A = this chain, B = another copy of it.
């Protein structure tokens, strides 16, 4: 049967002061009227039954996520600690396999904004089919639209069936010249949307991922805390996909965005005629290309451009848009009593 694993951790600093440790970005209605976590579940409709959607998250978020998503309590997998994506996905795949020995797993992230849900489902369907039929670890490769240097690239090789092809190699965050060459050669963006038979992931990890090896006997015995205590944090890409010979790729023709900064929000929300994105009681006068967000007081803005202006949780943030990626640095310099928000 088909299962899905939604990775839904997150520390909640990227959308300070709106996001908090108990309400990180994927629980907030940032990109649209629903949170990206809700969208992630909705997007699986027709692909994976709700009772087979597992959510991996931290203890602080699990209650809010369960309320938000309305999934069965036993499907909320609470990590004893954050240890990157490989331990989380191995645990969740083991859990799916425990409940259903023939489980095929689709893995995705709770913080994606996806413009075209239908194209997403087509790609996920193709990935699950290739994973099942050819017993492969399958990644969805997004057809690139620009020589992005911030993404990882997948280089497809030999054809498997339909559009599915074996992966020749992965290239992480190339420079612009290399990115252009990769795209010219048919490379795709590594999306983080994966599919695999649960048993295959466990088999590959056993053979190729010594970082997880010491924990696997505990996991097989159902001792999850011990598994997490014994593993070395490592990503699924580095720890498994880049090392395995059973890796395939199917193309995805949809835009996806993990909305990692306040500025990124302007890519996924529709700006008005002046290029502004506004949420809450804001009043703009001769203002262009700004994000103005208030959960609290009316914000009046006059004669400015390219700013992020936010009021939430009794804090005000005014930031140049091109500094949004450095917000973490700014937050680290704040006195703790200013930085820390009531959860």
Contacts and interface: CB of A to CB of B under 8 A. Distances in A.
Interface of A: 17, 281, 283, 285-286, 294, 297-304, 307, 309, 311, 314-320, 322-323, 326-327, 329-331, 333-335, 338
A327 B285 CA distance: 10
Given A297-B315, A315-B297, A315-B298, A304 B320 contact: yes
Q: Could you say how many copies of this chain the assembly holds?
A: 2
B316 A302 contact: no
Contact of A303 (B281, B301, B316, B323): B323
Contact of A320 (B298, B302, B309, B330): B302
A240 to B, nearest CB: 38
A246 to B, nearest CB: 46
B283 A300 contact: no
A105 to B, nearest CB: 41
A299 B330 CA distance: 12
Contacts of A318: 299-302, 304, 307, 309, 318
Given A300-B315, A300-B338, A304-B319, 15 more contacts: A281-B338, A283-B335, A298-B315, A299-B317, A300-B316, A300-B317, A300-B334, A301-B317, A302-B317, A302-B318, A303-B322, A304-B320, A309-B316, A309-B318, A311-B316
8 contacts: A283-B333, A294-B316, A300-B319, A301-B319, A303-B319, A303-B320, A303-B322, A318-B318
A211 to B, nearest CB: 36
B326 A302 contact: yes
The 8 A-B pairs of least Cβ separation, nearest first, read A303-B323, A303-B320, A302-B319, A299-B316, A298-B338, A297-B314, A285-B330, A302-B330
A274 to B, nearest CB: 15
Contacts of A302: 317-320, 323, 326-327, 330
B320 A283 contact: no
A11 to B, nearest CB: 18
A298 B316 contact: yes
Contacts of A285: 329-330, 333
Given A283-B334, A285-B330, A330-B302, A297 B320 contact: no
A284 to B, nearest CB: 10
Interface centre among A286, A303, A307, A333 (most CB of B within 10 A): A303
Contacts of A334: 283, 300
Nearest to A308: B302
A330 B302 CA distance: 7
A323 B333 CA distance: 31
A282 B311 CA distance: 14
Interface centre among A298, A331, A333 (most CB of B within 10 A): A298
Given A283-B334, A283-B338, A297-B315, A304 B303 contact: no
